[in-house]
């Protein structure tokens, strides 16, 4: 089956940048619409089109895999993942913050999907939480400076930050969390804040805005506290009357430099704030949203998905392999991710029978298969390497990412 050029779908979500992805892909955007994500893979919502470099023949990647799973993704991957490509690879660029969200575990996704199926909720209904029975761990690697929120802060930090903004009538619940800093009290605290509605919500957000403005004015510019409350104010501006704007009080604010990455396991609350990144995930579309969005929000289901473990966010440490790629420790069976700086030629022989997607993010490289086919990959271009292609070489000068499946 050899190798294929991929033609990929752009998703025009409202939070996307109108210039970062077009520039990366070498495309024009005369309409100025947002280009939020580029999907590379075989997800049924937007499968890539595989183009044979020798004949020009075109076929959706999911159909190509379904017709010959053993040759395209390998017998072992086909057996383990039901004959499907188990990952979805993306480019994303956020000009506006994304929703506060989390993704379910495999067990929760299976139960949630079965429950909504039994209720007859259409798969494309706005109120549908579970689009498939799969989990959705993710790994994101920055291509530019990339900021976001991820995982709960230490409970002491949550209490201290909330006390700076909260009206006196919150003190009882904050005090309970301070006295008994456990998961149960944290879940009760988060549920209480996210469930505030009506005039109570408007009053508390107004108070939080005035306090945040005062803190930002008084704190040294660039300090941790100034940065945190500046994001509270920006989220209030972007999403008026949305209690999700207080998310920086509870979640870790992180910033990745190009090449740095973090893992987002199931049950980890997160929100991307701004920047451009590559992202790989299990092949699922299950998203539970808690705020900062006009889409469906289900607070009880969102809360039930969370693990409520405090987390200290540290970038992953990639390790250099014998093949010249730096591999990120993704820690899941569904996907692997690695990167390489190509200067000359990298040769891969005797590779395992697994599928790969190669993405060039800088410069230009050539992909030559052992079977003789070749593909030019300029910046922003991608290719699918079939499992039965046991050898290939990459040459030129550029930076590439490789998405695959662990053996």
Residues designated catalytic: 289
Q: Which helix (H) or strand (E) holds 404?
A: strand 392-404
Q: SS3 of 281, please?
A: strand
Q: How far apart are CA 65 and CA 86, in angstroms?
A: 12
What contacts 354, CB < 8 A, 6 or more positions away?
73, 74, 76, 77, 387, 404, 405, 407
- Residue whose pair of structure tokens reads 């903004």 in the numeric block: 165
SS3 content of the chain, % helix, strand, coil (to 5): 30, 30, 40
Are 360 and 382 spatial neighbours (Cβ–Cβ below 8 Å)?
A: yes
Give the pairing of strands 336-348 and 392-404.
Answer: antiparallel
Count of Cβ atoms closer than 10 Å to residue 97 Cβ? 24
What is the distance between the alpha carbons of residues 249 and 162, in angstroms, rounded to a whole number?
Answer: 6
Say if strands 270-282 and 146-152 run parallel, antiparallel, or are unpaired. Answer: antiparallel
Other C-beta atoms closer than 10 Å to the C-beta of 209 total 17
Which residue has 């947002």 as its token pair?
34
């Amino acid at each position: 089956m050899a190798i294929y050029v991929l033609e990929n779908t752009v998703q025009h979500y409202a939070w996307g940048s109108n210039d970062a992805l077009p520039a990366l892909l070498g495309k024009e955007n005369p309409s100025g619409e947002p280009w939020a994500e580029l999907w590379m893979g075989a997800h049924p919502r937007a499968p890539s089109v595989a183009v044979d470099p020798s004949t020009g023949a075109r076929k959706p990647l999911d159909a190509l895999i379904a017709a010959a799973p053993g040759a395209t993704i390998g017998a072992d991957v086909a057996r383990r993942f039901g004959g499907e490509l188990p990952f979805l690879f993306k480019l994303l660029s956020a000009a506006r913050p994304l929703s506060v969200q989390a993704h379910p575990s495999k067990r929760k996704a299976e139960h949630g999907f079965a429950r909504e199926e039994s209720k007859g909720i259409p798969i494309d209904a706005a109120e549908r939480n579970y689009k498939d029975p799969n989990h959705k761990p993710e790994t994101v690697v920055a291509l530019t400076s990339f900021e976001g929120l991820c995982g709960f802060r230490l409970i002491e930090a949550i209490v201290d930050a909330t006390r700076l903004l909260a009206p006196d009538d919150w003190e009882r619940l904050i005090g309970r969390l301070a006295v008994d800093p456990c998961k149960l009290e944290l879940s009760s605290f988060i549920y209480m804040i996210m469930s505030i509605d009506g005039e109570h919500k408007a009053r508390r957000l107004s108070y939080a805005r005035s306090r945040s403005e005062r803190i930002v004015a008084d704190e040294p510019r660039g300090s941790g506290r100034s940065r945190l409350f500046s994001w509270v104010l920006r989220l209030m501006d972007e999403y008026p009357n949305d209690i999700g704007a207080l998310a920086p009080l509870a979640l870790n604010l992180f910033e990745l430099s190009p090449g740095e990455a973090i893992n987002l396991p199931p049950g980890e609350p997160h929100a991307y704030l701004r920047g451009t990144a590559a992202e790989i995930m299990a092949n699922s579309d299950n998203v539970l949203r808690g705020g900062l969005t006009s889409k469906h929000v289900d607070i009880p289901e969102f809360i039930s998905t969370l693990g409520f473990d405090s987390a200290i966010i540290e970038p992953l440490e990639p390790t250099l392999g014998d093949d010249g790629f730096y591999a990120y420790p993704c820690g899941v069976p569904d996907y692997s991710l690695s990167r390489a700086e190509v200067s000359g030629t990298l040769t891969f022989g005797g590779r395992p029978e697994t599928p790969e997607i190669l993405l060039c993010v800088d410069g230009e490289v050539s992909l030559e298969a052992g079977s003789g086919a070749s593909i030019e990959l300029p910046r922003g271009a991608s290719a699918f390497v079939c499992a039965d292609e046991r050898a290939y070489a990459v040459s030129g000068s550029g930076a590439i990412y490789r998405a695959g499946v662990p053996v």
